[in-house]
Amino acid sequence: MAPSSRGTPDVPVDVVVAARAGDARALDLLVAQSLPLVYNVVGRALDGHPDTDDVVQESVLRVVSGIGSLEQEQSFRSWLVAITVRQVRDWMRRSRYERAHLAELVAADVERDPAGDFVTTTIDQLLLEGQRRRIAEATRWLDPQDRDVLALWWLEASGELTRTELARSLDVERRHAAVRVQRMRERLSTGLAIVAALETAPPCAGLDDAARRWDGTPSPMWRKRLARHVRGCPRCAGALDRTAAPERLLA
């Protein structure tokens, strides 16, 4: 089967029909041809976290157990992505709980190790440099609900998904999907501007003053606070002018 123009091969409808009817060989083929897309969604959403394989496996298990309930074989691709996104969301909810629980167990006066953050670890592991490293760091400034939207938009930008498939994966109408993508992109651009400004040498005195009480951990609240300075400071805003658009950096 020839690859589609989107990069990831589309699964033939007859394979989906056979797998839905209980054909074991067709199901094996369906899983094998679906794995690249599942890995793309999970890998981009989890930033290469060690749990990526576990989330992929759980997604595939849900596909295998639920294939019989698929109503329209033509919608298999968006159904697959929707299942994967749900597994990513479940992982994120568990991960937030586990991190909060762990924080309760450690002594209150133990200084937090920034290297323990999984996004920072991912950056080190992948040896991201320059502007690509910046975009990876900028994702840390996103709201939690932006993570799955970012992963799907990334696939759309690279031609792996259509906007219709993205909307179906989020279980929203195309118009609502466009709004969610636009808001995520705005927050991503803001995060990118903050990252670029923080790297300016010598540092901006005004930005240092704005970040005086910041503990170094990206958060939506501090994104808004630091963004107010960055937008109004010619020096900080100039740092972003030297950074490529997110679409180019995500390619």
For the stretch 102-134, pLDDT in tens is 444 333 333 434 334 444 444 444 334 456 677
Q: What is the CATH number of the domain that holds 60?
A: 1.10.1740.10
Q: 57-96 b/e with 16+ CB inside 10 Å = b?
A: ebbbeebeeebeebeebeebbbbbbbbbbbbbeebbeeee
pLDDT (0 to 100) of residue 250? 55
CA angle 36, 42, 45 (to 5 degrees): 135
Kindly state whether residue 83 falls inside one of the protein's structural domains. Answer: yes
pLDDT (0 to 100) of residue 17? 92
Kindly state whether residue 90 falls inside one of the protein's structural domains. Answer: yes
Pair 90, 177 in one domain: no
Pair 56, 149 in one domain: no
In this model, does residue 175 exceed pLDDT 70?
A: yes
Kindly state whether residue 120 falls inside one of the protein's structural domains. Answer: no
User: What would the mean pLDDT of 30-39 be, rounded to a whole number?
Assistant: 90
**Average pLDDT in the chain:** 78
Pair 157, 238 in one domain: yes
Pair 132, 231 in one domain: yes
pLDDT (0 to 100) of residue 245? 60
pLDDT (0 to 100) of residue 242? 56
pLDDT (0 to 100) of residue 190? 92
pLDDT tens column, 195-244: 989 988 788 999 999 999 999 989 999 999 999 999 999 889 887 665 55
pLDDT tens column, 3-18: 343 445 577 889 999 9
Domain range for residue 67?
Answer: 1-96
**Gap between the Cα atoms of 28 and 16, Å rounded:** 11
User: What would the mean pLDDT of 140-162 be, rounded to a whole number?
Assistant: 83
Pair 73, 138 in one domain: no
